[in-house]
Amino acid sequence: MTRRSSSVTIYDVARQAGVSVATVSRYINQNAPISTEVAVRLEQVMTELRYVPHAAARHLASKKTWAIGLLLNNLHNDFFVPLLNGVEAVVRERGYNLIIATYHANRHERTRPPIGPHNTDGLLVFSDGLMDEDLVPLYESGFPMVLVHRMPPQNLSIPSVTVENVHVIEKLVDHLVNVHGKRRIVFLRGPVGQEDSGLREKGYRAALQANGISIDENLILNAEFERDIAYRVMNELIDCEPRIAFDAVFTGDDDAAIGVLKSLHEHGIRIPEDVAVAGFDDLVFAPFLNPPLTTVRAPTEKVGQIATERLFGLLENHPSNEVVFLPTEIIFRRSCGCES
């Protein structure tokens, strides 16, 4: 039977992991390097014993940090500006501080996330900022958290706020096919395993199949939701021999659309006459691109606002495991062939 965290000490962790108490202390406080192998072993033992370091336990039991954490996988994309605006507005209104950190979760190098129970009162976890196995010990300890642009793992009742991806992409691809006559539509994926990217691909594939268009895997490319990567993969697609024909590009998100438009312009490909282009998010620059970008408008700022309100609800003992889906809509502009 697993022991309760309140009865487990740092000495128990050290003994079960086969290391010194000083090594456990260094791992918890991250004030000196330890090997990846030892870090993985300590994390496993702490999870098995449900051990909460004393500093975190004091915060959870009797002290408030007056800080909310937002854990992201990167900050490279303009998408995060409205999201942060929504989060920050609620945090400021409640008189809290906002701590933002990036964390690259992977199964091979297990390091402790920079924010969590040891320095915040609650956590917003964006997309794949944490892996499922990272969420389990936080959930089991009762630490308040809300997932953003991500559904909770099976059997974990964690509140989540995201947007509708599948049906709106089905409508967008259907529009490209039936209004503008496009049949060779490129899809640019986001990061591998990222939920939004997977759902958008699901909508893309469903729309092609519904219109009797066979799916050409050569037209599905990895662009990571990054403009520089999108620019490179589009150049490779255009320049490859033998040439792969295409007449439209769904860029996956608006940031990638910048790279796509740059590549098409540099190759003398007319937009939308030769190739239609559409994105996702309707970021502030979308109407000012050349040509103005047809895209899906997602209420990104509202996602941040509602997720943060849900988190404060947990802090105020109003538990919720609700998953909120916010609606999206297509904004038609000239890049797909419509009149702005």
List pLDDT tens digits, range 10-60.
Answer: 888 999 999 987 788 778 766 667 888 888 888 889 888 888 776 554 444
User: Residue 74: its pLDDT value, please?
Assistant: 85
Q: Which homologous superfamily is 166-298+329-336 in?
A: Response regulator (3.40.50.2300)
Give, as one character, the DSSP assignment of residue 214.
Answer: P
Amino acid identity at 58: R
User: Residue 30: its pLDDT value, please?
Assistant: 66
Residue found under tokens 């915040």: 120
In degrees, rounded to 5, the angle at the alpha carbon of residue 49 between the alpha carbons of residues 46 and 51 is 55
Give, as one character, the DSSP assignment of residue 335.
Answer: G
Q: Hey, where are the domains in the chain?
A: 1-46, 166-298+329-336
From the CB of residue 269, how many other CB atoms can be counted at a distance below 10 Å?
15
User: Residue 63: its pLDDT value, please?
Assistant: 64
Beta strands in the chain (DSSP E): 67-72, 97-102, 122-126, 145-148, 160-163, 185-189, 220-222, 248-250, 276-278, 295-297, 323-326, 329-331
d(CA 157, CA 117): 18
d(CA 241, CA 219): 14
Q: Which residues contact 302 (CB under 8 A, 6 or more apart)?
A: 86, 326
CATH number attached to the domain at 1-46: 1.10.260.40
Q: Are 258 and 318 in contact (CB under 8 A)?
A: no
Kindly report the pTM of this predicted structure. 0.81
Q: Are 175 and 330 in contact (CB under 8 A)?
A: yes
pLDDT tens digits, residue range 216-231? 999 999 999 999 999 9
**What is the average pLDDT value for the chain, to the nearest integer?**
91
Of residues 65 and 254, which shows the higher confidence score?
254
Considering all CA atoms of the chain, what is the largest pairwise distance in Å, rounded to the nearest integer?
A: 70
Residue 61 pLDDT more than 50?
A: no
Residue 5 pLDDT more than 60?
A: no
d(CA 178, CA 294): 16
Percent over 70 (pLDDT), the chain: 92
What phi and psi values does residue 288 have, to the nearest 5 degrees? -100, 0
d(CA 333, CA 9): 61
